[in-house]
Amino acid sequence: MMRGLPNLITIGRLALVPLVIALIADGRWGWAFAAFLSAGVSDAIDGFLARRFDARSELGAYLDPIADKALLMSVFVTLGVVNVIASSLAILVVSRDLMILGAVVVAWLLDKRMEIKPHLVSKLNTTAQIAFCAAVLGMRALGRHFGAVETAAAYGVAALTLASAAVYLALWLRHMAE
């Protein structure tokens, strides 16, 4: 039972994605924030359980990043659509992930498979994106806006997203030239 529990938790996190999106779209900020935080906590729990009980699996290795990206990309897109954040930031975040996915697919099609390992800038980028989404949802839940701080945070997320995209593009180009 313990062996499959982390994957079940990850699947539950995937199931939270449409709920978070619907709550944002309805302007139910408190519930959206709570659901987003629940997804984050479940991510920590499934990772802990997988490591602690040696319950890592190939399925989990695929599902976990898919769940993370599905949540973040969906939240960014929805916040952009409801005009809470700049659409350009949502487009940038989604485009980076699609670029990485496209690069992996092209490498695979050309029989030059490559392993994607998170780099420091990518980890910082993901952390900044999660913190930004949590802060935006949390502030809206409290009925507050954090104005200039939110704008600065959005620029920081954009800069890290661009830096991360550049790192992965450089690695991919180097790999494809080998």
Residue range 8-27: average pLDDT? 97
Question: What domain count does the chain have?
Answer: 1
Residue 157 and residue 89: Cα distance in Å, rounded? 8
pLDDT tens across 113-159, in order? Answer: 988 788 899 999 999 999 999 999 999 999 998 899 999 999 999 99
> Nearest to residue 34, comparing CAs of 14, 49, 19, 15?
19
Higher pLDDT, 18 or 51: 18
Residue 96 and residue 173: Cα distance in Å, rounded? 15
Tokens of 105: 């697919």
Entry pTM: 0.93
- At residue 103, the pLDDT reads 95
Residue 137 and residue 37: Cα distance in Å, rounded? 10
Residue range 162-170: average pLDDT? 97
Q: Is the pLDDT of residue 1 over 70?
A: no
pLDDT tens across 83-115, in order? Answer: 999 999 999 999 999 999 999 999 999 999 988
pLDDT tens across 35-82, in order? Answer: 999 999 999 999 899 998 888 888 888 899 899 999 999 999 999 999
> Nearest to residue 35, comparing CAs of 5, 12, 62, 66?
12
- At residue 97, the pLDDT reads 95
Residue 60 and residue 41: Cα distance in Å, rounded? 16
Residue 126, domain CATH: 1.20.120.1760
How crowded is the C-beta side of 45, counted as CA atoms within 13 Å?
A: 16
For the chain, give the mean pLDDT: 94
Domain of residue 55 covers 5-177
Close Cβ partners of 91 (under 8 Å, ≥ 6 residues apart) = 80
Burial class (CB in 10 A: 0-12, 13-18, 19+), 169: middle
